[in-house]
Structure 1
Amino acid sequence: MKSGDHAAIDVLAESSAAVKGKAPLIASQREEKRGLNRGFGIADFLLRLGAIISTIAAAATMGTSDETLPLFTQFFQFEASFDDLPTFLYFVIAMALVGGYLLLSLPFSIVTIVRPIAVAPRLLLFILDTVTLTFATAASGAAAAIVYLAETGNPNTNWLAICDQFEDFCSTVSGAVVASFVTVVVFVVLVILSGFALKRQ
């Protein structure tokens, strides 16, 4: 056998060894990627559970916010209720819709845990989470503006501060707005997590 044949055999042997050496490395990288994506999926699921709690709390708190001042007679009383203001009514509807979406999104979040490499469910959640984030932010911001006016008033528009009289009402709606902003923050984190996971696909 010629020396050239020996050189060719050596090169082939080295190439085969290199391929065998790279195969476990690629497999380990794939498993690492799969494990990290599964971790993103678990965090996504837990965050959604937390957002469901805060969203339901916001809607329920605002929906039960009413106060009647113990003045005058039973036929002539001052009362404050969330449905007296269209913004607060919109807030309750918006939070109920956001909570419903979060419940419906849980199965898709579970899919990202079971199949961490799947792109379609994560991309769908990313798009819908972004839309819902905008919706929730609009409702929370509008309600926060009304709460601010109720607390401080606005002399230029003759908007009187009512929280000196309706203290319980104002504290209740303020708590609802705070809970809604917790939901907004959770959605921001969800969108960021989905973005990182999609980037690693």
Structure 2
Amino acid sequence: MSSGEPATVFHMEDGNKSSYATAPPPAYAAGTSSAAQAPRKIAGDGVPLLLRSGAAGFRRCLSLIDFVLRVAAFGPTLAAAISTGTADERLSVFTNFFQFHARFDDFPAFTFFMVANAVAAGYLVLSLPFSAVGILRASAAGVRLFLLVCDMLVTLLLTGGGAAAAAILYVAHWGNIRANWVPICMQFHGFCQRTSGAVVASFLAVLVFLVLILMGAAAIRHRR
């Protein structure tokens, strides 16, 4: 008897009479198992949407982080440029006619530092549309390469400006005994506080740019 035919069941009754009834067929056809009837698990469940498409999703994910970091780095660079450009303090000695003046443009290093941060802030705004293209088009390798080169140049500019300003601030805070340079921050507290905070903010932006460079290189290299 094949497994697909209905089974016959015999019932014993009084009087040695027998009758038969046909049992209902099984719920599933022969050769199929209950495991086959279970719903199949969709491939990729539990994986973020940006990562389901392999290398393309990986590049989109990096581009999204890249966009967020550029927005985050805009604040420190703009704050550093504004804080340095408004650093101005006058110190009166004896009378108001005899004053010492400390202003950012009295130091060429601070002028260079302010310009570097202003250029970096402007570049970050202009680079946002290019970063958005990387999110929409995962295969835009040319745009990523362009941003990578520009990020490296701006990072060098910010690092040079921050290093020059930090050197001037070190002398302003501690002086130099051998050169008979006295520390001016003992008198010009406000000037030193503003410029010191600007240097810290600028170096935070440099760290963000370093992360952007690493992510850009990883996105270009990860093509498969």
Q: Which TM-score band (shorter chain)? A: 0.7 to 0.9
Partner residue, 1:181: 203
Partner residue, 1:108: 130
Q: CA deviation at 1:69?
A: 1.6
Q: How high is the TM-score relative to the length of structure 2?
A: 0.75
Partner residue, 2:172: 150
Partner residue, 1:49: 71
Partner residue, 1:121: 143
Contiguous gaps of at least 5 residues in structure 1: 1-23
Matches within 5 A, 1:50-129: 50-129=72-151
Structure with the higher strand share, 1 or 2: 2
Partner secondary structure for residue 96 of structure 2: coil
Q: For the residues of structure 2 that align with 1:189 and 1:198, how far apart are their CA atoms?
A: 14
Specify which structure has the bigger relative contact order, considering alpha-carbon pairs within 8 angstroms and separated by 6 or more residues: 1
Q: CA deviation at 1:105?
A: 0.8
Q: For the residues of structure 2 that align with 1:45 and 1:72, how far apart are their CA atoms?
A: 54
Q: How high is the TM-score relative to the length of structure 1?
A: 0.83
Partner residue, 2:186: 164
Q: For the residues of structure 1 that align with 2:125 and 2:181, how far apart are their CA atoms?
A: 39
**Residues matched between the structures, number:** 175
Contact (CA 8 Å) 2:92, 2:98: kept in 1 or not? Answer: no
The CA RMSD over aligned residues, in Å, is 1.7
Q: For the residues of structure 2 that align with 1:117 and 1:69, how far apart are their CA atoms?
A: 59
Contiguous gaps of at least 5 residues in structure 2: 1-42, 44-50
Q: CA deviation at 1:145?
A: 0.6
Q: CA deviation at 1:30?
A: 7.9
Q: For the residues of structure 1 that align with 2:94 and 2:100, how far apart are their CA atoms?
A: 9
Q: CA deviation at 1:75?
A: 2.2
Q: For the residues of structure 2 that align with 1:30 and 1:183, how far apart are their CA atoms?
A: 32
Partner secondary structure for residue 159 of structure 1: coil
After TM superposition, what 4+ stretches of structure 1 lie above 3 angstroms from structure 2? none
Give, as a single letter, the amino acid of the residue that structure 2 aligns with 1:197: A
Give, as a single letter, the amino acid of the residue that structure 1 aligns with 2:153: V
Matched, 1:192 2:192: no
Kindly name which structure, 1 or 2, has the bigger radius of gyration based on alpha carbons. Answer: 2
Q: CA deviation at 1:81?
A: 0.9
Partner secondary structure for residue 157 of structure 1: coil
